[in-house]
Amino acid sequence: MKILLAGANGYIGARLIPALLEQGHEVVCLVRDQKLFQKQSSHADQVTLVTGDLLRSRSMTPLPEDIEAAYYLVNALPQTSGFAGLEALSAQNFIEAVDKTACQQIICLSEIDDHLSEAGLSRLHVEEILQQADAALTILKSTMVIGPGSIAIELLEGLTKKSPIIIAKNWAKAQEQPIATCDVIAYLTGCLLNEATYNSEFHISGPDILTFKQMLQVYGKLCRNRKVSIVTVPQVSAALSSYWLNYLTPISYSHAKTLVENLKYDLVSRDDAIQQIVPHKCLTFEEALQETA
C-alpha cells in the first residue's frame, strides 16, 4: 500500500517509517526540506519524498493520487502567540491536499488532555478539521511516551542528574500511565486501513499507573543505579518551572512550558477499547526504560 506520512522528521514519525517499510508498504514522506530529511533519516533512500510546507499551501507539491492512507504526525507547535491558528492552518492545508488523492483513512496521533489546556484545545480543533476530510479519521490519544530520545526521557534524565530532586507538590502526586515508543508504533500500524477503527477515537497507554514521583524513583534506581532523594515544594510558578526545566534538560523553554502545564494533572487512559480491535501487550514502565538503555 502507498502510505503518506506528514511529520516524518518528528520523534514518532521517524520511528514509524522503518515499521511501515518492514511491512512492505510504499512510504511517501511530506517534508519541508528534502536535504535536511536526507541528512537526518537513515531511510531517505527507501521512501518517496514530496516537498511542501503545511503552513504555506502554495509550497505544496501535488501528492501522488494513489495514496491509500495518511498519517498526520505533525509536531505540536510551541505555545507562542498565534500557535493555535497555525496548527489549524496546517491541518486544513493537509486535508485539502489529501482530498485530491484516493486516501481512505487519516490516522492522527494526539495526547490525552482531560483538563483542556490551551494546547489541548488547539489539538481538539485540529481533530475537528481533520474530521472534515473525505477520508475516515482514526484518532489515537496517547499518554506520556517513553523511549530513547523522547521528551519524557529527557525530562527524567535531566531531573535525576543531581540529588535531591526538587519538584512541585502537584507534580509529585500527578498520576501517569506511560507507554513505550514501540507500543505507540504497534498501535499506529495496527490501525492502518483497519475499518473497525474508522471515524473513532482511542486511548493508548501502558499497563502501569504511577505518580510522577514514583517514575523518578524507578528511573533513578534503574538508570542511575542509585536511590534518588525527592523534595516537594508547595508552589512553583509556571514560568520559573519552565526556565528550570529548560536549564536542566535539552527541552526548549516553549516545550517545557507545555510539560509544566501537563504535569499538574493526571494523564491516564479512560478506556482500553483499542485492545478489542488491535490486541497488543504493552511494555511495563520498567521494561520501557530498559529499552532506552
Contact between 267 and 112 under an 8 Å Cβ cutoff? The reply is yes
Point out the least confidently predicted range of 12-21, 39-48, 84-93, 248-257: 248-257
Assign residue 249 a region (left: φ > 0; alpha: ψ between -120 and 50; beta: otherwise): beta
pLDDT one-digit tens code per residue, 181-219: 999 999 999 999 999 999 999 999 999 999 999 999 999
* Number of CB atoms found within 10 A of residue 250's CB: 12
Point out the least confidently predicted range of 54-68, 162-176, 250-264: 250-264
pLDDT one-digit tens code per residue, 125-150: 999 999 999 999 999 999 999 999 99
DSSP assignments along 97-108, one per residue: HHTTTT--EEEE
pTM: 0.93
Contact between 68 and 107 under an 8 Å Cβ cutoff? The reply is no
Contact between 141 and 203 under an 8 Å Cβ cutoff? The reply is yes
Cα angle for residues 259, 183, 138 (degrees, 5° grid): 80
What are the structural domains, with CATH classification, of the chain?
2-142 (3.40.50.720), 144-178+206-267+281-293 (3.90.25)
